[in-house]
Structure 1
């Protein structure tokens, strides 16, 4: 594996993850109605850090393989949707608008899982926890919309 490629993928994943620091959950999130099966807050950074390390490692393996175009395209899609979801859900507090972003994230992670697996079984297998976590996140996202029907997004002021 190329260590520089790993570092580049890792930088991309942590740049996407930095949106969590830019748009923290805060008091607003604490006031929302949540399903009883919502994971404790400490689980989220543990899961995301693990996922980012896995997908950076295996994508660095796949990036050098012939025929990797679809795998890399799905990788790019998933990290873009990943970076976009947090500012919409936590930044704009737009629960409903975060649903199609989550759907795009789920589809792109599924695509990355399949295309990575076609090139390298272990690479595809490393995406499985990500797919499971995004499935839980999508269910949580949809439950939050259902449990908070009157939640209004932040109104942006004209600058």
Structure 2
């Protein structure tokens, strides 16, 4: 399990480090519900730990190929969002990544619910945060 946690959290933090919001992001118009910047790193760190534990459970406990494929798909989309939004400085491109991400997370929860309810429950905070982030991303697109 340690390898899953170290890998997922490490890659997530590296992508965050390589795609710092910076002045470009600071200059964007944001909605009233935009949280302070300091909240994102701790929230994502916690979420990455949950994602990693679910990945480990998917590989070593449940061992279902459909859940493995969904877990990989959400990881790929998750890791693509920061480079799309911050790296390319394209909020609309970020929206094109985050909406399928939310769909895949939701599908994972729906499929895991019957075979691994613990993983399904562990993905609920992730789904809630990505739903909020999708709303925020969409609002930034509409305001800019």
Q: Same fold (TM over 0.5)?
A: yes
1: distance between equivalents of 2:13 and 2:114? 27
Check 1:34–1:52 CA distance in 2 against 1; reply closer, same or farther (3 A cut): same
Pick closer, same or farther for the CA change 1:93–1:69 going to 2, 3 Å.
same
Q: Is the 8 A contact 2:9 2:52 kept in 1?
A: yes
Unaligned 5+ runs, structure 2: none
Shift of 1:14: 2.9
Larger radius of gyration: 1
* Number of the residue aligned with 2:121: 125
**Runs of 5+ in structure 1 lacking a partner?**
149-159
2 CA distance for matches of 1:16 and 1:8? Answer: 12
Cα distance change, pair 104–13 in 1 and its aligned pair in 2 (3 A): farther
The reply on whether 1:57 has 2:53 as its aligned counterpart is yes
CA-to-aligned-CA distance 1:105-147 (integer Å, 9 cap, x gap): 1111112222232221111100000000000000000000000
Corresponding residue to 2:90 among 83, 94, 109: 94
Aligned length: 144
TM-score (norm 2): 0.91
CA deviation after TM superposition for structure 1 residue 88, in Å? 1.1
Q: How does 1:1-159 map to 2 (within 5 A)?
A: 3=1, 6-8=2-4, 10-66=6-62, 68-148=64-144
User: Per-residue displacement from partner, 1:45-71 (whole Å, max 9, x unpaired)?
Assistant: 111111111121132123123551111
How many angstroms apart in 2 are the aligned matches of 1:110 and 1:9?
21
